[in-house]
Structure 1
Amino acid sequence: MRYLIIRLTSLGSVAMSVPLISSLSRRYTDDEFVYVARKDLADLFHGMPNVRYVRFTPSHNSSSLTRSGELCAMVSGLHAIRRFDAVVDLQGDTTTFLTRCWCLTHGVKSYCISRTDALHRWAYIQRSGKASQPPAMADSYAAALRSAGFTIDDDFTALDINTQAAEFINERFGNGVGERWIGIAPFAKSATNTLPFRTTKGIIQYFSEQPNTRVFLFGAGVVESEMLNQWSSIYDNVVSVAGMLSLGSELELMRRLSGMICMDSANQHLASLVALKVITIWGGTTPENGFLAWKQDKEMCLEPRRN
């Protein structure tokens, strides 16, 4: 059997699905799973031999309708190579709508994540937590996969070690023997989930002054990289890895860390894939929104006081 799974964006949302895809890979070893997403995220599925990652690259600045047509054309092409038995849409928006319609006209069973859950999360955020608590995103993913007939377990602990990436980390930073490695990721896509600069500098300075401690700064984007590089040049024993590492190498570096401080961002979800416990700082969102990373402790979440 051959199945198509779609979750186009974002990095954190794709990462949240990885423990469930790992469950499918281990349980249904004779089946093939084709996972479609944007960006180069194949390293998230390392160690899953029956999962094939396909990157979807829409036209630059294209409309939602154009992207929908391009995705549908790509899926049709993949189907022509070898037929899909079913499609599971973990995105559930206008971009994937035409693909679901295509499934209906080509005899391919289609299953979709609950839009009610997504609206529930939106209402919870808009009402500042005064609405009823929505289900976790991972639970919504699992429900969609179960509707397709799959059995899902929750025994995922960590991705298999990426040997090549681990060797690169050894060559670049050493093995860390006798040191404590701490990760700090102060940025997020949303400005409300970004740690204030003064607070960030204070945290970096504190850990940089601790004995036998090295601090690694994580981030993405030009502005973030410039800021992190500036901080790494100010303080001793601080290294910015923003824009330096492949996704696989970044995951292996996280695997070596003793702990990590990050915002409600993709980094908490990446850390969860290598069994790294993190202190997560929440700003404009809360863990109750449904975005707490896989098996991270609620007690490790720091939230501002809310009225």
Structure 2
Amino acid sequence: MKILVIRFSSIGDIVLTTPVLRLLKKKFGNGVEIHYLTKKSYAPVLKVNPYISKIHSFEKNLNEVKQELKTAHFDHIVDLHKNVRSQTVINWLKTPALRFNKLNWEKWLLVNFKIDKLPNKHIVDRYIETLAPFDIQNDNEGLDYFIPQEEKVDVERELGIQPNQYVAFVIGAAHQTKKYPKEKIPYICEMLGEKTAMLIDALNFKNPLKIVLIGGKEDQEDALYIYNKTQNTINTCGKYSVNQSASIIEQAKVVITNDTGMMHIAAAFQKPVISIWGNTVPKFGMYPYEPKHPENVVIIENNHLNCRPCSKIGFSKCPKKHFKCMQWENERLIIEDTLRFLQK
């Protein structure tokens, strides 16, 4: 049997589909080939996933893989993207398809009228519900993330820090309204440095706490701002691949993060995650997924604004021009929760 799973983007959304791959393999064993269709820029996220037999990827146009897909002769399609493009693939292949319910109408109601008709259910659980015709149920093992051996980072050699003795701070996000303001981050880093200096023996750390800044090339300017205003940060933004950044996150003691792909990678490693939310809301069902250790997840959000959520994705700037969803976040809570996790 051959099954094609479709999710074109992005990093976090693809990571959230990984339980589906594992469950399909568990159900059908060696009798199934699982193929995955995604954009080429996101293929590294799945590069060494052991449940995938083959990744089909394209740069811009689906026609790049049309013939490749048609000659594969799939028995089933699991469409976890459900848009015009994925419907095009289904039409091409004329193969039975299970399609994920995106709940776009319910999200639209919440964004535009603050009417909440969304289920209290994580998107992973809804992805898995798509597999109901296969009689597949959630194994509650959480997310998967596999790092190629050649992209694993020796943090002691490359960054001068000990594994499990530093905090990773993911400063980037796909949209500006999902980014914690760079001006507020130095205070958090400095306070964590001061507080942990008094606890270094109790923490059993070899050296004073370091905060590793995680992000892409687009975050380099913000990272430099933070680095220049702190004494205890290490700037890795734009210097490492997605998988290398994932490796740094895997070895962190605690992860502070915006609502972004690296947040879900941290959850895949079952890390303590302090998740900071701006214009989007956890109610969309895409908060850190750690069913085995829900106590690892802390949500930091401002629930006292009638303009939030203003988008299901994000904006380049706050539509109201005040950005109170992030500006009014309580730094003290972030610091206290980080210290609590560090002392565990």
Q: TM-score, normalised by structure 1?
A: 0.83
1:249 to 244, 251, 264: 244
User: 2:182 is matched with which residue?
Assistant: 197
User: 1:71 is matched with which residue?
Assistant: 62
User: 2:277 is matched with which residue?
Assistant: 282
Name the CA distance, whole Å, in 2 between partners of 1:289 and 1:300: 16
Cα pair distance change 1:77/1:91, threshold 3 Å:
same
User: 2:165 is matched with which residue?
Assistant: 180
For 1:110, the aligned partner's letter is A
Shift of 1:193: 1.8
For 1:276, the aligned partner's letter is K
Name the CA distance, whole Å, in 2 between partners of 1:174 and 1:20: 37
User: 1:265 is matched with which residue?
Assistant: 260
Name the CA distance, whole Å, in 2 between partners of 1:275 and 1:185: 16
User: 1:52 is matched with which residue?
Assistant: 54
Shift of 1:2: 1.1
User: 1:5 is matched with which residue?
Assistant: 5
Cα pair distance change 1:100/1:241, threshold 3 Å:
same
User: 1:64 is matched with which residue?
Assistant: none
Any gaps of 5 or more consecutive residues in structure 2? 198-207, 307-344
Name the CA distance, whole Å, in 1 between partners of 2:24 and 2:166: 33
1:219 to 215, 224, 228: 215
User: 1:19 is matched with which residue?
Assistant: 19
Q: Deviations over 1:133-192 (max 9, x none)?
A: 334321231122334565542223654565433354453225606x72101123322322
For 1:206, the aligned partner's letter is M
Contact 1:125–1:285 (8 Å) recurs in 2: no
Name the CA distance, whole Å, in 1 between partners of 2:183 and 2:153: 35
Contact 1:8–1:36 (8 Å) recurs in 2: yes
| Pairwise CA RMSD | 2.6
Contact 1:208–1:238 (8 Å) recurs in 2: no
Cα pair distance change 1:99/1:154, threshold 3 Å:
same
2:96 to 109, 129, 133: 109
For 1:258, the aligned partner's letter is K
Cα pair distance change 1:84/1:150, threshold 3 Å:
farther
Shift of 1:300: 0.8
Contact 1:16–1:269 (8 Å) recurs in 2: yes
Any gaps of 5 or more consecutive residues in structure 1? 59-69
User: 2:43 is matched with which residue?
Assistant: 41
Shift of 1:297: 5.0
User: 2:79 is matched with which residue?
Assistant: 89
Contact 1:181–1:258 (8 Å) recurs in 2: yes
- 3-state SS, counterpart of residue 17 of structure 2: helix
- 3-state SS, counterpart of residue 201 of structure 1: helix
Contact 2:170–2:213 (8 Å) recurs in 1: yes
Cα pair distance change 1:292/1:84, threshold 3 Å:
same
For 1:186, the aligned partner's letter is I
Cα pair distance change 1:229/1:51, threshold 3 Å:
farther
User: 2:33 is matched with which residue?
Assistant: 32
For 2:28, the aligned partner's letter is Y
For 2:249, the aligned partner's letter is M
Segments ≥4 residues shifted beyond 6 Å:
none
- 3-state SS, counterpart of residue 50 of structure 2: coil
Q: Structure 1 residues 285-294 or 134-143, which shifts more?
A: 134-143
- 3-state SS, counterpart of residue 16 of structure 2: helix
Contact 2:212–2:236 (8 Å) recurs in 1: yes
Shift of 1:56: 2.0
Q: Structure 1 residues 181-190 or 293-302, which shifts more?
A: 293-302
2:122 to 109, 133, 136: 136
Shift of 1:264: 1.5
- 3-state SS, counterpart of residue 270 of structure 1: helix
- 3-state SS, counterpart of residue 152 of structure 2: helix
Cα pair distance change 1:33/1:11, threshold 3 Å:
same
Cα pair distance change 1:112/1:73, threshold 3 Å:
farther
Task: Work out the number of aligned pairs and report it.
Answer: 288
Shift of 1:26: 4.0
- 3-state SS, counterpart of residue 216 of structure 1: strand
Q: Deviations over 1:95-117 (max 9, x none)?
A: 2221122233xxx21221114x2
Cα pair distance change 1:257/1:227, threshold 3 Å:
same
